[in-house]
């Protein structure tokens, strides 16, 4: 009896875990957005795919090894949202230069500054618009 109760509990636990989180085999895909940084001074640009999950990520970490990095440091003059869902909002912030640039379905391109802006201490976060009402 004890064994069958333990087996039933284990089975119930694993089936709950299996259905609690959407999985790729059920057709669920994590939302992502593609953001392009451009450096007009050097004629360079680079696209990076970012999860749309509300997590704040360092720009330096994401673009540090791309064409918009110079000696490992990221410099850009504009940002563009190139692939996204209609509810996607991506925000680039950098306190030192008072940068707060948002990209969404209506505003897909933004100037970061002229000629270029140092983004080494900047962050980007992509999230679904309206999700803050649920948390």
Q: Please state the pTM of the whole predicted model.
A: 0.76
Residue 115 preceded by cis peptide, ω within 30: yes
* Among 119, 40, 121, CA closest to 75: 119
What is the maximum alpha-carbon separation in the chain? 75
Q: Contact 103/110 with Cβ under 8 angstroms?
A: yes
User: What digits encode the pLDDT tens for the residues 75-133?
Assistant: 999 999 999 999 999 999 999 889 999 999 999 999 999 899 999 999 999 999 875 54
Q: Contact 126/35 with Cβ under 8 angstroms?
A: yes
Domain extent listing, the chain: 32-128
| Separation between Cα atoms, residue 98 and residue 47, nearest integer Å | 23
Percent of the chain surpassing pLDDT 70: 75
Report the length, in residues, of the chain.
135
């Amino acid at each position: 009896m004890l064994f069958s109760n333990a087996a039933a509990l284990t089975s119930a636990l694993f089936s709950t875990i299996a259905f609690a989180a959407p999985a790729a085999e059920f057709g669920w895909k994590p939302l992502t957005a593609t953001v392009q940084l451009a450096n007009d001074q050097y004629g360079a640009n680079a696209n990076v795919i970012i999860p749309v999950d509300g997590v704040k990520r360092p720009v330096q970490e994401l673009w540090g090894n791309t064409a918009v990095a110079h000696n490992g440091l990221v410099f850009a003059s504009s940002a563009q949202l190139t692939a996204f869902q209609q509810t996607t909002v991506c925000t680039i912030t950098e306190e030192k230069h008072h940068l707060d640039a948002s990209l969404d379905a209506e505003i897909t391109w933004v100037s970061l500054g002229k000629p270029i802006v140092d983004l080494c201490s900047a962050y980007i976060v992509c999230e679904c618009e309206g999700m803050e009402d649920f948390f």
